[in-house]
Amino acid sequence: MHLERILQRNGFGTRRACRALIGQGRVAIGGVVHADPADEIATEGLVFTVDGVDWPHAEFATVVLNKPAGYECSRQPQHHRSVLELLPLPLRERGVQPVGRLDADTTGLLLLTDDGPLNHALASGKRMVAKVYLVTTKHPLDERQIGRLRAGVVLHDDPVPVAAVACEQLGEHHLRLTVGEGRYHQVKRMLAAVGNRVEALHREAVGGFVLPPDLAPGEWRWLSVAELLQLSHPGKR
C-alpha cells in the first residue's frame, strides 16, 4: 500500500496532508525516514513513526484508557469535556468511540474502538459481558444488602429483577460488583434499590480484560493482539 494511503487510513488527515507529512521527513519505518508518498509498504505487522511516535497499522483501532473523573463519554458533551480529548488527533479522526459509557464521575477502564462489531459485542446487554466495578458506598454495607444484590433487585423503570453476576464485600463501605447488562446508571440504581448510595465508582475489568495497573489516570495505550482476541471472545470473570 502507498505510504500516503497508510497514513490516511490511520487518521493523519487528507491525502494532501499525509503527503506533506511524508515530504517533510516526519515519517519513518524501522528508523528509516521515507520521503516518498508513493513508496509501496507491506502492511502486515507494520509499525511506522510520525514525529518519533510509534503507530501500529491496523484495520481497526482499539485502545484502553484509564478514564479520570470529570469527562463525558460523548463527542458532544453537555457539562464536561469529552473523554475523546484525552486521545491524540489521529485516533479521533479515525472515529473511535467509547465501548459503552461511563458517567462523568466514574473512573477506570474504558475501551474505545472504530470496530463496530466489536463495540456492539461488548456493549450489548444480550451478550452479558461481565463488567467489574469497585464501589464505594455512603452507608455501611450489610449482609442483607449484599444478599439482595446477588438475588436481584427491581429498578424503578423495569419490573424484571436485575441481579449482580458477582458481589464481594471488601470493607464496610466497599464492594466489588460484577454486572452483565450495563444499563443506564445500573450500579448506582442497584445500590439505591437496597437503600444505599454510590459515592465513588471505578471500573476495573470488562470481559475478563483488567485495567493495566501501570496505566495512570488519563493515559491510554493500544491493545495487543492477544488482548483483542480475548475481547473478541469475552467471558464472565
Residues identified as active-site: 103
Whole-angstrom distance, CA of residue 42 vs CA of residue 106: 41
Residue 93: strand, helix, or coil: helix
Nearest to 48 by CA among 8, 3, 95, 83: 3
Cell 466489536, located at residue: 118
Nearest to 58 by CA among 209, 207, 222: 222
- The separation between CA 66 and the C-alpha centre of its own chain, rounded to angstroms, equals 8
Nearest to 136 by CA among 202, 72, 186, 194: 202
Whole-angstrom distance, CA of residue 112 vs CA of residue 205: 14
